[in-house]
Amino acid sequence: MALRVLMVDDHPIGLVSSRSASDYGDQIGLSGAAGFGPKAELYGDAVRALLEGAPRR
C-alpha cells in the first residue's frame, strides 16, 4: 500500500502495525516509507517524530 501511495502523492508515509518491525524483515526499509511505529506507541508526538524531516517524494 505504501508504494501505491508514494506513486501518486509526495507526502511522507509512516507505517504502523500491531506486529513488531522485526516481523517484516527488510520490507519496511524497501517500502519507501519514512519509518515504522508500533501501534501500541501510536500518539501525536510519536507520529510527528516519525515523519519530521522526512523528504517529500
C-alpha cell belonging to residue 46: 510519536
DSSP for residue 25 = T
Query: Which pLDDT tens digit goes with each residue over 1-57?
Result: 455 555 556 677 788 889 999 999 999 888 888 888 888 877 778 777 777 766 655
Nearest to 14 by CA among 26, 54, 22: 54
The predicted model scores a pTM of: 0.58
Outline where DSSP puts E strands in the chain: 14-17, 35-38
